[in-house]
Homo-oligomer: A and B are copies of this chain.
Amino acid sequence: MKLIIAIIKPFKLEEVREALTGIGVQGLMVSEVKGYGRQSGHTEIYRGAEYVVNFVPKIKLEIVVSDDQVERVVETISTTARTGKIGDGKVFIINVEQAVRVRTDERDEDAL
């Protein structure tokens, strides 16, 4: 199994979630993060003082899927989340050694 970590633009969340449900993803975790990257760095003025905005709000998705699903999930995320503008985000893949469903104590694939 793999843990897929995706950073996307917040307003894309709903769309991405629907797309993922569409391809059979049964669960995921969402959290708010502040992102620093190429998109960062524009300046704003507050009470007459200029400052650089380094962090932009992003949504982080964490999804554990079986190895065979990985490519489709990555594909789905990156196509759905893409706007073509800087700051669209990233997808990272990490190996998961074991999964457990708390309710039933099922393991691995069955736990997803």
Contact = CB atoms under 8 A, between A and B. Distances in A.
Interface string A72-112: 00100110011111111111111111111111010000011
Interface residues of A, number: 55
Copies in the complex: 3
Contacts of A95: 94-95, 97
Nearest to A2: B97
A77 B102 contact: yes
A100 to B, nearest CB: 4
Given A54-B17, A78-B105, A97 B94 contact: yes
A18 to B, nearest CB: 9
Contacts of A38: 26-27
A29 interface: yes
22 contacts: A2-B97, A6-B102, A8-B102, A27-B90, A28-B35, A29-B34, A29-B35, A29-B36, A30-B33, A30-B35, A30-B55, A31-B32, A33-B62, A64-B90, A78-B105, A82-B103, A87-B103, A88-B103, A90-B101, A90-B102, A91-B98, A93-B97
